[in-house]
Amino acid sequence: MYCSLGLLTIYVVNAVFAVLAIFKAAERGQSSLLWAVKTFSVGGLAFDQLTQLPTLKEVAELESRKGARAIKNKKK
């Protein structure tokens, strides 16, 4: 009984993360379906990986400020 409840809890939390990943992926120009499936199966690790990607707005700001070199310099 307790094992089933634990798995159910994990699936519910991963499902919530998967829904959030759909919106976060759209902000970053990524495939929403891919990130939803990845987040549902892997969980918080995939969601954290997604949120570390720069948004399209951040990329546009960096490119407008210094050009393409700003993106390379930000990674260092």
Tell me how crowded residue 39 is: count the other CB atoms within 10 A of its CB. 27
pLDDT at residue 13 tops 90: yes
Residues 20-47, mean pLDDT to the nearest whole number: 96
Q: Are 70 and 62 in contact (CB under 8 A)?
A: yes
Q: Is the dihedral of CA 37, 42, 47, 49 positive or negative?
A: negative
pLDDT at residue 69 tops 70: no
Tell me the pLDDT tens digit for each residue of 44-64: 999 999 999 999 999 888 888
Domain count across the chain: 1
pLDDT at position 2: 65
Q: Are 47 and 17 in contact (CB under 8 A)?
A: yes
Which has the higher per-residue pLDDT, 38 or 74? 38
Domain extent, residue 63, equals 2-75
Q: Are 17 and 43 in contact (CB under 8 A)?
A: yes
> pTM of the predicted model, to two decimals?
0.77
